Structure 1
Amino acid sequence: MTTDQNGNTEGAADARPAREGAPVRPIRRRLWIYRLTSLVLGPVLFLGLLETGLQLAGYGRPTSFFLARQGAKGELSLTDNPEFGRRFFPPSLVRAPVSLAFPAAKPAGTCRVFVLGESAAMGIPDPSTSFARILEVMLRDRFPKVRFEVINTALVAINSHAVVDIARECARYQPDLFVVLLGNNEVVGPFGAAGVIGPYAPSRRLIRTSLWVKDTRIGQLMSAGLRATRLAGKGPRYWDGMAMFQGSRVPADDPRLRATYAHFRENLGQVCEAGLSAGAKVVVCTVPVNLADCPPFASEHSARLAPAQRTAWEAFYREGVQQHAAGQFTEALRHLDDATRIDDTFAELEFLRGRCLTALGRNAEARQASIRARDLDALRFRADSTLNETIRQVAATDQARGVLLVDAEREFAANSPNGLPGKDLFYEHVHLTFSGNHLLASGVFQKIAKLVDPAMRLGPQALSEQTCAERLAYTQRERTRNAIRIHEMLQNPPFTEQLDNAERERHWEEQAQERQQALGPEALQAAVDTCRTALQTAPDDWMLRTHYAYLLTELGAPSQAVTQYEAIIKQRPYGVMAIDKLATLRLKAGQLNEAAAGFQAALRIQPGDSAAAYGQAEVLAARGKVRDAIAAYDKQVNKEPDRVEALRRMAGFLDHLGKPKQAQGRLQEALSLDPNDPLTHVDLANALAKAGDLDGAITHSEAALRLRPNWPTMSDHLAALRKTKANDGPSLPR
């Protein structure tokens, strides 16, 4: 190509059409991009506006674990969010955390410790004597110049999928330490292989996406819509404890366990990372469980077992059981070993082998058999060997960055007869007795004390169990009350299906006189005195003061209890429990205006506070506005996630108002929702007996006993009903 004297280039005419047509393709490309952008941004903009609109309209609930509260002087405090669990549970199954309140900005000279985990870490049946509480007592005694905040964020029925989010929130508030006890609920908790608390999800990415969606108001609206149209699945309609999992067995060879273990490893790693990134040290505990005195909840045969093999297996097993019962442990073990050679996957078989081996003094083999029985248990409520080994591996991976391991599983074995932790350390399968909590707290204390004082050469000495019990006002009375709470749980499946259930019930009956003495007037006065002394050592301990107020109320000193609740509210103005209790005492004293104001104050802090809503209805009834009171009660019952319990409560309220027929109607409604609730049958039996309907009372008493066979009080009541009917006498007194 050449250029002439006028600057024209030869071939320019030939090139012009190409240059004239060149802009067409970029224009088309820009139109395509514009259309694509519109397709993407349009829905995004719409969803953004919808989300904002829902928030402005007040729809939905905050999903964070902590709620920020601004004080009169502008200071921020953090409290627990009772609605946190809605992202992980259906509304009917949501569990609430322990009441919490602490300043958002950490005070100078404070060591802030967050405890993360499930019900064992929470301290069921009594969070006021959890291992976190004992740990706090130990630390304050050893380091009196340091102010320790031990904040227990554990929650019933959650697992690592929820704890990751809790840990990330805790990381925002200047933590010094994370203490993690986690692993019992990985299979039975949210997204776990049992598939009861929501559907099982094999993909962790899918789980995190679904949780992100539920974090939005749009997601909450969608969830509500699905529930309304019954498209969200057929989950439990009410909380029924471990009995909900009866039909959700997960054998040891179930392929879903691989995903569960992988999720746990990643989640636990992220919990540790949350603490480390915030500059905190992380203490991770392996999870001890009851091996000696908790037979498997469910056993499964190998799917490859042929009918003839099963017949032979059952013959050997039956002989082994009979020989074991007769104390012929060598012969029993021989028969059980013969059964094992046919099928070694039956958890109960391994448990019996462990007991025989223990009786024969072969402790190492007994421990291995007991561990294997736990690992084969098809109702997987206990952390197994894989989960505990994962905890050790995760701790070892980040040890250099500040992750410390408390191998509680091995520590409990070392402090148990024959290396098998049992009823001295556990109430049932995983929940710790005071001795168990003390042992766990001691192990964690050893690690933390060396962090607080690196110059410490000798291992720090933890406070004795007796001293910790005195500091927390844990007397024989509290020990007995906890045992009664646990026994109530043991009256239900799957505990009633366990191998030693009958023996456990006999032992419980043998201790009846001892329990009665522990709950008598002298024991109550001793508990009051112990609690008063403990408060002198820790006057700012609101849990201890709450316990003191409970005891004073039981002692018949309501005015003194009022003083204690007033002190708690002054210290923790956002603690609705103390506000409710104080308002209830005002109500009983006839101070209706003060009671109404208290319940209203609780509802301003926590709009979903059912105790305050019921309290308001009680105030209306006391003012003679019975119709309004019933309407208020009815409105609250319709909101309650556990409708069965709410209906029982309303029945009691109606009976108190002198409306027995309406009360019976509510109990019948409760039975239509859950025909297998023994407490509803008992309440209805009592209502019918008072109305003179002995046949109906007997029928429902019998139903209650079928559902809960080992119930001495109910057995006695049924016998009295039958005797009254046989004598054709008057109905039983109220």
Structure 2
Amino acid sequence: MADAGPKKEKRTVFRLAAVGIGLLPLVLLEAGLRLFLPADDHSDPYAGFGGNVPVFNLDGDTYRTANGREPFLAPQEFSATKSTNGLRVFCFGGSTVFGRPFHSATAFPRWLELQLQAESPGRRVEVVNCGGISYASYRIVPMLRECLQYEPDVMVLATGHNEFLEDRTYSSLKARSAITVALDSLRIVRTGRKWLARTPQKEAPDARNAGFVTRLDAESGYASYKRDPEWRRRVLTQFEEAIQQIIRDCRAAAVPLLIVRLGSNLRDCPPFKSEHRANLSADEEAHWQLLIDQARDAEKAKPSDAMEYYRQALEIDAEHALTHYRMARVLDRLDDPKAAEHYYEAKDEDVCPLRMFESQANYLKVVAEQYSLPFVDADSHLRDLSNEGLPGFDWYLDHVHPTIGGHQEIALLIADALRRRFPDLGDKWDSTSQRTIYENHFSGLRFNYLSDGGRRLDWLEDWARRAKLADEVLPNSADGFVRLGVRRMDFGALPEALFAFSRAVELDGSVRDKIREHRAQMRAYGRGESANAIKDSKESGNENP
């Protein structure tokens, strides 16, 4: 019995050695794959959670966007060795930062870089666009952590619209165990998975393929959105946690963080999905529907009557988002300031919330004040530039994506904030320099750049099931036709834009002043040719509106 202990130890050692010998081929294969195969930066549905897919790869003396991050991130590059007098800015967010429905060439990070370089010609300015299509805030956290290694001078954060679009889909991935994360990091596992998945993937123009799935990508995606207060609360909590984590990471690295509060389209964007309140009886719903039908019939000829019908319908169900939107449109036509209240209610009661809630927007301001962070209120700025403080197609191309001029305005705001942070940046450029640089940049865009953006927007609106509500955004006033004309100009659809301006003038000749104002804006934004087309055309109701 005295020999039992040593014999047991020998058996244990033998078994461990046998296991080790059995695993040795796998260890050698893993080492060989890592040694002889290029870095595997394929599109990975776990990107942003496991931290195993980089945002940028080193290519010689330049960092470039990893192939696996496209098409979700725009191709970007910056020097591996930062200039001694360089200024390096990283901008994080979703598709607005990316530049959708166009590309990064007309997104605010690009306009910001052009301005800062013009104002500081002796410095090397690099503004890196890290906007990810459909990226929610928690996906930004690991990206920002990586970019803190690249000697940034400031981080710009503009997020909030995608929290309910992408979060729910990836809840199971975020809950993966440490063992699963470790296995997914092995080159054998990743190569084997790639070899087994031999079915070719369609090339994705946006976020629908390449392993990136959002709720709206599925056939049942739109239907899956239901009124769920608890789910909303959890998502908003996670949003706040992600913002707090980003702030902690920047503070730990002693890198300034600038927060941008983005806005959204209020006037020309009906809610994506509406639902009745809970416990609405059949009789109540029938009465509600009767009132809605009466309101719709009265809208054109008797808007005051329509307003009263909508008011009664909201007394039955104050949670129906589309009713609020229709009420707002009627009040807007009557120049009633209460329209704003219902536009905001329509947004916040949206069951498919692709525009950030007011609570999110307010949280960004509160947290910036709490930590004394630079804060750019793009939302308020574009509202201030809109009639009655209610932006529509005049500043947003769809539900959240700003016009090109809107991006330029956001860049100007950020540049002002950075100039306060870095006094040695140089004097603010004058209007002539601004216009010249903008014009030169536009002249370098490909000829179909704007029209491609229009086609991409058509795809996006189909993806978001907007055809269901197409009638809700038809212009019902002269101002509505002016906004439609502005939107069409951004996509290079000149004849269609001029037709919209003409209809506006037919309804109300006083809108010529608004058309003149837009023409002046386009000149300031470097689009003099388009501005001249408005001036010279007779389609706007006047040879020189």
* Corresponding position: 1:151 with 2:128: yes
Deviating more after overlay: 96-105 vs 165-174: 96-105
* Corresponding position: 1:122 with 2:98: yes
Give the direction of change, closer, same or farther, for the CA distance of 1:40–1:318 in structure 2 (3 Å limit). Answer: farther
Letter aligned with residue 34 of structure 2 = Q
- Is the 8 Å Cα contact of residues 165 and 214 (structure 2) preserved in structure 1? no
Equivalent of residue 326 in structure 2, options 352, 355, 362: 352
Give the direction of change, closer, same or farther, for the CA distance of 1:289–1:171 in structure 2 (3 Å limit). Answer: same
- Is the 8 Å Cα contact of residues 120 and 425 (structure 2) preserved in structure 1? no
Report what 2:542 is aligned to. none
Report what 1:181 is aligned to. 158
Letter aligned with residue 305 of structure 2 = E
Paired with 2:10 and 2:364, the residues of 1 have a C-alpha distance of 55
Deviating more after overlay: 215-224 vs 307-316: 215-224
Paired with 2:19 and 2:236, the residues of 1 have a C-alpha distance of 37
Paired with 2:274 and 2:132, the residues of 1 have a C-alpha distance of 28
- Is the 8 Å Cα contact of residues 63 and 79 (structure 2) preserved in structure 1? yes
Paired with 1:56 and 1:513, the residues of 2 have a C-alpha distance of 50
- Is the 8 Å Cα contact of residues 92 and 140 (structure 2) preserved in structure 1? yes
SS of residue in 1 equivalent to 2:164: coil
Report what 1:166 is aligned to. 143
Letter aligned with residue 473 of structure 1 = F
Paired with 1:513 and 1:451, the residues of 2 have a C-alpha distance of 37
Give the direction of change, closer, same or farther, for the CA distance of 1:49–1:181 in structure 2 (3 Å limit). Answer: farther
Give the direction of change, closer, same or farther, for the CA distance of 1:267–1:500 in structure 2 (3 Å limit). Answer: same
**TM-score normalized with structure 1 length:** 0.55
Give the direction of change, closer, same or farther, for the CA distance of 1:451–1:444 in structure 2 (3 Å limit). Answer: same
SS of residue in 2 equivalent to 1:498: helix
Paired with 1:395 and 1:44, the residues of 2 have a C-alpha distance of 52
Give the direction of change, closer, same or farther, for the CA distance of 1:251–1:455 in structure 2 (3 Å limit). Answer: same
Equivalent of residue 263 in structure 1, options 232, 238, 255: 238
For residues 101-158 of structure 1, the C-alpha deviation after alignment (integer angstroms, 9 at most, x for no partner) is 2111211110100111111111121321111111122222333333211111112122
- Is the 8 Å Cα contact of residues 274 and 320 (structure 2) preserved in structure 1? yes
Paired with 2:446 and 2:30, the residues of 1 have a C-alpha distance of 54
For residues 181-204 of structure 1, the C-alpha deviation after alignment (integer angstroms, 9 at most, x for no partner) is 111111112xx22x3xxx544x95
- Is the 8 Å Cα contact of residues 119 and 156 (structure 1) preserved in structure 2? yes
Report what 2:112 is aligned to. 135
Deviation at 1:209, TM superposition (A): 8.1
Deviation at 1:44, TM superposition (A): 10
Report what 2:68 is aligned to. 83
Paired with 1:370 and 1:148, the residues of 2 have a C-alpha distance of 40
- Is the 8 Å Cα contact of residues 270 and 473 (structure 2) preserved in structure 1? no
Letter aligned with residue 378 of structure 2 = A
Deviation at 1:164, TM superposition (A): 1.3
- Is the 8 Å Cα contact of residues 261 and 378 (structure 2) preserved in structure 1? yes
Report what 2:438 is aligned to. 469
SS of residue in 1 equivalent to 2:165: coil
Paired with 2:28 and 2:40, the residues of 1 have a C-alpha distance of 18
Identity among equivalent pairs (%): 22
Report what 1:372 is aligned to. 345
Report what 2:81 is aligned to. 105
CA RMSD of aligned residues (A): 4.4
Report what 1:55 is aligned to. 34
- Is the 8 Å Cα contact of residues 328 and 339 (structure 2) preserved in structure 1? yes
- Is the 8 Å Cα contact of residues 94 and 132 (structure 2) preserved in structure 1? yes
For residues 243-302 of structure 1, the C-alpha deviation after alignment (integer angstroms, 9 at most, x for no partner) is 636633434534222222222222222233333333321111112111111111221122
Letter aligned with residue 466 of structure 2 = F
* Corresponding position: 1:323 with 2:298: yes
- Is the 8 Å Cα contact of residues 329 and 356 (structure 1) preserved in structure 2? yes
Paired with 2:155 and 2:341, the residues of 1 have a C-alpha distance of 32
Paired with 1:220 and 1:46, the residues of 2 have a C-alpha distance of 17
- Is the 8 Å Cα contact of residues 269 and 473 (structure 2) preserved in structure 1? no
- Is the 8 Å Cα contact of residues 114 and 151 (structure 1) preserved in structure 2? yes
Give the direction of change, closer, same or farther, for the CA distance of 1:60–1:112 in structure 2 (3 Å limit). Answer: closer
Deviation at 1:46, TM superposition (A): 9.2
Equivalent of residue 58 in structure 2, options 68, 72, 91: 68
Paired with 2:192 and 2:371, the residues of 1 have a C-alpha distance of 40
Report what 1:449 is aligned to. 419
For residues 526-560 of structure 1, the C-alpha deviation after alignment (integer angstroms, 9 at most, x for no partner) is xxxxxxxxxxxxxxxxxx9xxxxxxxxxxxxxxxx
- Is the 8 Å Cα contact of residues 419 and 425 (structure 2) preserved in structure 1? no
Deviation at 1:42, TM superposition (A): 11
SS of residue in 2 equivalent to 1:170: helix
Letter aligned with residue 393 of structure 1 = V
Which of 1 and 2 has greater Rg? 1
For residues 608-660 of structure 1, the C-alpha deviation after alignment (integer angstroms, 9 at most, x for no partner) is xxxxxxxxxxxxxxxxxxxxxxxxxxxxxxxxxxxxxxxxxxxxxxxxxxxxx
Q: Which has the higher contact order (CA 8 A, sep 6+)?
A: 2
For residues 636-685 of structure 1, the C-alpha deviation after alignment (integer angstroms, 9 at most, x for no partner) is xxxxxxxxxxxxxxxxxxxxxxxxxxxxxxxxxxxxxxxxxxxxxxxxxx
* Corresponding position: 1:495 with 2:495: no
Equivalent of residue 383 in structure 1, options 352, 356, 367: 356
Report the number of matched residues.
466
Paired with 2:232 and 2:416, the residues of 1 have a C-alpha distance of 34
Paired with 1:45 and 1:161, the residues of 2 have a C-alpha distance of 38
Deviation at 1:496, TM superposition (A): 1.2
- Is the 8 Å Cα contact of residues 159 and 182 (structure 1) preserved in structure 2? yes
Deviation at 1:333, TM superposition (A): 1.9
Letter aligned with residue 188 of structure 1 = L
Equivalent of residue 336 in structure 1, options 303, 310, 329: 310
Equivalent of residue 422 in structure 1, options 392, 395, 400: 392
SS of residue in 2 equivalent to 1:83: helix
Paired with 1:407 and 1:96, the residues of 2 have a C-alpha distance of 26
* Corresponding position: 1:413 with 2:383: yes
Give the direction of change, closer, same or farther, for the CA distance of 1:241–1:258 in structure 2 (3 Å limit). Answer: closer
Deviation at 1:174, TM superposition (A): 0.4
- Is the 8 Å Cα contact of residues 59 and 217 (structure 1) preserved in structure 2? no
Give the direction of change, closer, same or farther, for the CA distance of 1:460–1:29 in structure 2 (3 Å limit). Answer: farther
SS of residue in 2 equivalent to 1:284: strand
Deviation at 1:461, TM superposition (A): 7.1
**TM-score normalized with structure 2 length:** 0.72
SS of residue in 2 equivalent to 1:290: coil
Give the direction of change, closer, same or farther, for the CA distance of 1:177–1:60 in structure 2 (3 Å limit). Answer: closer
Paired with 1:186 and 1:145, the residues of 2 have a C-alpha distance of 40
